[in-house]
Homo-oligomer: A and B are copies of this chain.
Amino acid sequence: MPTLLSENEIVSGLKELMGWTRSGGEIKKTVELKDFVHAMGFVNSVALLAEKANHHPDIDIRWNKVTLALSTHSAGGLTANDFNLAKAIDAL
């Protein structure tokens, strides 16, 4: 099982990400795309990374806006898995 990150690790992890905020035991990001078609393109790119990592964010689609939330449910909070996937998503 992945290890929960410490507060210090979470704070420094967030500094390496773009546009993610912490909300309790998860990190969230909302991305605004040009329209629904582009939102779905982004969602599918995220989905491919998620399936590859076997780590799946919650994904909320509101026409051109996509909100992602990452948490490691099996560990009950944030682990390196969340920050690694967030970093990969930022690099899309």
Contact = CB atoms under 8 A, between A and B. Distances in A.
A61 B62 contact: no
Contacts of A7: none
A50 interface: yes
B59 A61 contact: yes
Interface stretch (A11-19, A35-43, A78-86): A35-43
Interface string A40-61: 1001100100110000101111
A41 to B, nearest CB: 10
A61 B51 CA distance: 13
B56 A58 contact: no
Nearest to A48: B40
A59 to B, nearest CB: 4
A58 B61 contact: yes
A18 to B, nearest CB: 22
B40 A36 contact: no
